[in-house]
Every structure is written in structure tokens, then in C-alpha cells.
């Protein structure tokens, strides 16, 4: 549902928030965790507004969310103060644990405080820090991480490489497939990735070898942060599932494709995936994304979705038209890099609500701050493939970049930059920021990497 915070005519007293190309206008107001770069200050919660961060702890210290601070809080006081009690913290977990009514009230209060010409602006100016002077931490303590497989086009493109006789497995259109990842190796944007070692078996070889991966890949994904959780043994109903989703970020699920090919059967991804995952620092709320909802793609020939995964409203509004882009920066491209992927989240076969409902339908409990990956986001046309595995057809058809370089998989020194944004006539542009990581050379060889016969 749309409300006053979505009004495209709103402007902010923070000038950069009014720039046409800004990711963070007043209609967005995503949350993150930050501190002054190079300092030993504690991490704290902030809200992105233009090129600035509003320090919520500092704003609270000035009484920003108290009933007497603003004449505009008459209808929001109780719910706002309830939510504001949880923003003076080093992570978003406590705020995530609240209900959507509290999140919405806090968002409206922030919108009213940051609007152009409000008399309270002068009292909040020194609560701002330029984003360029901040360093960011993980938005939440991530207790668990589950990565899903929800793009029918990724399933088709990857399936043609791995099982050409049956590229899309029969269960794909019956349930959102997922696997349990490692929360311990999730890192914030800008953290460098060291090329991992792993066990691989090259085509034609009779035995595996242990070596640095030669097929390092990116995966263009979104991350879903869980809000309030559920009790063990009590599933989350499909019609209530979105009330348990706090917001979205960008996510790069780096993958070692040669390790994956050798280890994945029969239990799925393990060391090929769990060595590193990068996320962006800002969590964009589902409420901010409401103007960009659209139907989930379905075809008449698709199997009927079981009732537990089909909301009363059907597929209307299940998808979100988030434009997604991956760019490659090499020592030869310059800082802007070159485009690799451009697609949209509107192509998702399974929704955020369906991922949460399926994750918990057996009674599995999720908790505030848990992270779900949407799986690689690919679209129906060439150039919308969300990873190099698809773009270069497993290395069979290397990419020829405009600057003369070629890529089948990532080289040392390569930087992958993911971006996401929403644009629609009559609505303010909503951005997700960027998710960036650079590949470093593999560590030195282990002391004993040779094969020993028994």
C-alpha cells in the first residue's frame, strides 16, 4: 500500500537527496550500520539520505523521535517511539524484530523530519555524515543464511550446461529450491576476495587435484533480511510471510564453478559457495519498493502451485521491478568498468513471500537478521544472464569486451560491481546502492597438497 512517504513531489532539506539520479531520495530512506572512517567509534544505525547518512543515535540524543520534538508527530508518537527505542544499537536486529506497523511509523517520522522546510532541520544538521567519510558494517548479526534458486532463466541456462537432456528439473516450478549457506563468510561491500583453493577434476582426468579455482564467478542476486521470526515448529503462512521481511540488499554469491562441478552431486553446493558472499550496506524496506510491484511471471502450462505457496491475491504484485546491473572493472577499463549483466527482478519465478513460507513450512524457525539469497537473477534475453557461467556458456564462448579483453571467468585484479534501482514514470527513483568486491591472488600453496595412495 502507498502512503505519504511515496509522494514523488516530496523534497528534502538535504540537497543531494533531490538530485534526479540519487539512489537515496527522501522516498527511499534505507537503513545501514556505519561509523566515521578510520575511527574506533562504535558502529551505529544510520539512514541514507542523498549522499549523507543520518546518525539515528545522534538524532535520538536530540529527542528527534519524542512527542515534543515535532508538531507533525501527533498521529505517530506511540508507534514511532516504540520503534525508535531500537535504533540506538550497533546492528539492526532489534529493529528488525518489530512488526511492520512500527517500521512504517518510524519511516513516516523520518520522512517528516527530512522534508524540505521543516523547522526541525536546523537541529538535525550536525547528525549528518557524508557517506564518503563513513565505513560500513554488516547491517545485522546474520545468524543463518539460505540461498535460493528462483530464476527460471538461470535454471534453464545452467541446466543446458550441466544436464542438457533435462535442463529444468521438474521440482523447480513446484517449490523455491534452496540450500544452507555460511553466514560466517558474508562480508560487506569493498571487502576483497582471495581466490579460493579447492578440489577439482578436469575433463578427462581420472583423479582430482587440489588447486586454486580457475573458474571463479560472480552471481548477481538480491538478499532478503528477515524481520520478526517464528517459533520452532510453527510455519509462517504465505499470506503473512511479507510481514516477516524487513528489506532487501544487493548480494554477490561468489562461486568456484570447477569446484562446484566436482562436489555438487549428490548433496548440492558446499565449498564452491561458502568461501565468500558480499552484500551492500543499505537495506531498502519493502514499503519503499511498493510502487514497483508487478505480477510474478506464470504460463498456462506451468503446474498448479500448492495452496501453501499461493497467496490469496495470487501472483499479482508478487514480483518487484528492480533493475539490476553487474559491471566488471579491470586494470585496463578505468573506474567505470564495462557492463556484464543488465536484468530485472521482475523475472523472478518465486517471490519473497514464497521463499519465506517455503523455508518455514516444515516448522523451521527463522530469526531477525537471517539472510535469504534470491539466487542468480537472469532474464530471458542475451545480456540478462546473471553470471559468467551463463554469459560465457561454461567457458565455451568467452566474452569479448569492448576494450579487447576476454573473460570466461574472473581474473585476479578484477572487480565486480553490482547495482540496483527502481524507476517508473510518476515515481521517485529508488536505489539499492552498490555491492563491490575485488579478486586477489590465491594464498600460497599448502605445505602438503600432493595425493597420497593408501
Task: State percent of the chain over pLDDT 90.
Answer: 84
- Provide the pairing of β-strand 177-180 with 128-130: unpaired
pLDDT at position 268 is 87
Q: Among the CATH numbers 3.40.50.300, 3.40.720.10, 3.90.850.10, 1.20.1560.10, which is that of 145-440?
A: 3.90.850.10
C-alpha cell at 143: 545468524
**Strand-pair partners of 284:** 248
Provide the pLDDT confidence category of residue 450 given band limits of 50, 70 and 90: low
440 Rama sector, left if φ>0, alpha if ψ -120 to 50, beta otherwise: beta
Q: Thinking of the domain 4-137, which architecture would CATH place it in?
A: Roll (2.30)
* Residue bearing cell 550497533: 90
Per-residue pLDDT of 4-24, as tens digits, reads 999 999 999 999 999 999 999
Q: Which of 68-72, 324-328, 334-338 has the lowest mean pLDDT?
A: 68-72
pLDDT at position 421 is 98
pLDDT at position 80 is 83
Closest to 84 in 3D by CA, of 108, 52, 117: 108
Residues catalogued as catalytic = 154
Euclidean distance between CA atoms 357 and 321, whole angstroms: 21
Per-residue pLDDT of 274-307, as tens digits, reads 999 999 999 999 999 999 999 999 999 999 999 9
Query: Where do the DSSP E strands lie in 56-208?
Result: 128-130, 134-137, 145-149, 177-180, 186-188, 193-194, 197-200
pLDDT at position 70 is 63
Rounded to the nearest 10°, the torsion over CA 2, 6, 7, 9 is -160
Higher pLDDT, 436 or 454: 436
Length of the chain: 454
SS3 244: helix
Model confidence at 453: pLDDT above 60:
no
Closest to 139 in 3D by CA, of 228, 247, 17, 23: 247
Per-residue pLDDT of 364-423, as tens digits, reads 999 999 999 999 999 999 999 999 999 999 999 999 999 999 999 999 999 999 999 999
Euclidean distance between CA atoms 14 and 376, whole angstroms: 35
Euclidean distance between CA atoms 423 and 427, whole angstroms: 7
Model confidence at 74: pLDDT above 80:
no
Euclidean distance between CA atoms 332 and 337, whole angstroms: 9
Per-residue pLDDT of 198-210, as tens digits, reads 999 988 899 999 9
CB-based burial label for 402 (10 Å; 0-12, 13-18, 19+)? exposed
SS3 28: coil
220 φ/ψ angles, rounded to the nearest 5 degrees = -80, 110
Provide the pLDDT confidence category of residue 250 given band limits of 50, 70 and 90: very high
| Alpha carbon distances (Å) from 300 to 55, 167, 171, 304, 308 | 50, 20, 17, 9, 20
Model confidence at 449: pLDDT above 60:
no
Euclidean distance between CA atoms 17 and 28, whole angstroms: 10
C-alpha cell at 224: 532478503
Euclidean distance between CA atoms 30 and 62, whole angstroms: 21
Q: Which residues, 6 or more positions from 259, have their beta carbon under 8 angstroms from its beta carbon?
A: 196, 198, 199, 200, 213, 271, 272
Euclidean distance between CA atoms 329 and 436, whole angstroms: 10
What average pLDDT does the structure give for the chain?
A: 94
- Edge-first strand order for the sheet with 193-194 is 193-194, 430-440, 415-422, 323-329, 338-344
| Contact (Cβ atoms closer than 8 angstroms) between residue 222 and residue 286 | no
Per-residue pLDDT of 140-188, as tens digits, reads 999 999 999 999 999 999 888 878 877 888 899 999 999 999 999 999 9
Euclidean distance between CA atoms 189 and 419, whole angstroms: 11
User: Where along the chain do its domains lie?
Assistant: 4-137, 145-440
Euclidean distance between CA atoms 218 and 328, whole angstroms: 10
| Contact (Cβ atoms closer than 8 angstroms) between residue 204 and residue 453 | no
Q: How far apart are the first and last CA of the chain?
A: 66
Closest to 157 in 3D by CA, of 442, 424, 391: 391
SS3 147: strand
Element (H, E) at 83: helix 77-84
Q: Which residues, 6 or more positions from 298, have their beta carbon under 8 angstroms from its beta carbon?
A: 315
Per-residue pLDDT of 103-143, as tens digits, reads 999 999 999 999 998 988 999 999 999 999 999 999 999 99
Closest to 219 in 3D by CA, of 86, 5, 40, 391: 391
Model confidence at 79: pLDDT above 80:
no
Euclidean distance between CA atoms 422 and 321, whole angstroms: 7
Total Cβ atoms within 10 A of residue 444: 6
Amino acid at each position: 500500500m502507498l502512503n505519504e512517504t511515496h509522494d514523488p513531489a516530496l523534497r528534502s532539506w538535504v540537497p543531494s537527496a533531490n538530485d534526479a539520479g540519487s539512489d537515496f531520495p527522501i522516498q527511499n530512506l534505507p537503513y545501514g550500520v556505519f561509523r566515521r572512517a578510520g575511527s574506533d567509534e562504535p558502529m551505529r544505525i544510520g539512514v541514507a539520505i542523498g549522499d549523507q547518512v543520518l546518525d539515528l543515535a545522534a538524532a535520538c540524543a536530540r529527542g528527534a523521535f519524542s512527542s515534543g520534538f515535532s508538531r507533525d508527530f501527533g498521529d505517530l508518537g506511540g508507534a514511532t517511539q516504540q520503534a525508535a527505542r531500537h535504533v540506538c544499537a550497533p546492528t539492526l536486529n532489534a529493529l528488525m524484530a518489530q512488526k511492520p506497523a512500527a517500521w512504517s511509523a518510524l519511516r513516516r517520522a523520518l520522512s517528516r523530519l527530512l522534508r524540505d522546510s521543516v523547522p526541525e532541520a536546523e537541529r538535525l544538521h550536525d547528525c549528518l555524515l557524508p557517506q564518503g567519510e563513513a565505513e560500513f558494517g554488516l547491517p545485522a548479526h546474520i545468524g543463518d543464511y539460505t540461498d535460493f534458486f528462483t530464476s527460471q532463466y538461470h535454471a534453464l541456462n545452467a541446466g543446458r550446461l550441466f544436464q542438457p537432456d533435462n535442463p529444468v528439473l521438474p521440482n523447480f516450478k513446484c517449490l523455491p529450491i534452496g540450500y544452507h549457506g555460511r553466514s560466517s563468510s558474508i562480508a560487506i561491500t569493498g571487502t576483497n576476495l582471495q581466490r579460493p583453493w579447492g578440489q577439482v577434476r578436469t575433463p578427462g582426468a581420472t583423479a582430482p587435484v587440489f588447486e586454486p579455482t580457475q573458474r571463479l564467478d560472480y552471481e548477481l542476486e538480491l538478499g532478503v533480511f528477515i524481520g520478526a521470526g517464528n517459533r520452532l515448529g510453527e510455519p509462517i503462512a504465505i499470506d503473512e510471510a511479507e510481514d516477516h521481511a524487513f528489506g532487501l540488499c544487493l548480494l554477490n554469491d561468489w562461486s568456484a564453478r570447477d569446484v562446484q562441478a566436482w562436489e555438487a552431486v549428490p548433496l548440492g553446493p558446499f565449498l564452491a559457495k561458502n568461501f565468500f558472499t558480499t552484500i551492500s550496506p543499505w537495506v531498502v524496506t519493502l514499503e519503499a519498493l511498493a510502487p514497483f510491484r508487478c505480477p510474478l511471471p506464470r504460463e498456462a502450462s506451468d503446474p498448479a502451485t500448492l495452496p501453501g505457496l499461493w497467496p490469496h491475491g495470487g501472483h499479482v504484485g508478487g514480483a518487484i521491478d528492480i533493475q539490476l546491473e553487474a559491471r566488471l572493472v579491470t586494470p585496463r577499463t578505468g573506474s567505470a568498468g564495462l557492463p556484464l549483466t543488465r536484468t530485472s527482478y521482475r523475472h523472478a519465478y518465486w517471490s519473497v513471500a514464497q521463499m519465506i513460507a517455503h523455508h518455514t513450512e516444515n516448522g523451521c524457525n527463522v530469526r531477525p537478521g537471517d539472510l535469504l539469497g534470491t539466487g542468480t537473477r537472469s532474464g530471458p534475453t542475451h545480456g540478462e544472464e546473471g553470471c559468467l557461467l551463463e554469459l560465457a556458456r561454461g567457458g565455451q564462448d568467452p566474452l569479448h569486451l569492448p576494450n579487447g579483453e576476454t573473460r570466461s571467468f574472473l581474473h585476479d585484479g578484477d572487480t565486480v560491481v553490482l547495482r540496483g534501482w527502481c524507476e517508473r514514470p510518476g515515481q521517485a527513483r529508488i536505489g539499492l546502492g552498490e555491492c563491490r568486491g575485488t579478486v586477489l591472488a590465491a594464498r600460497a600453496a599448502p605445505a602438503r597438497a600432493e595425493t597420497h595412495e593408501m
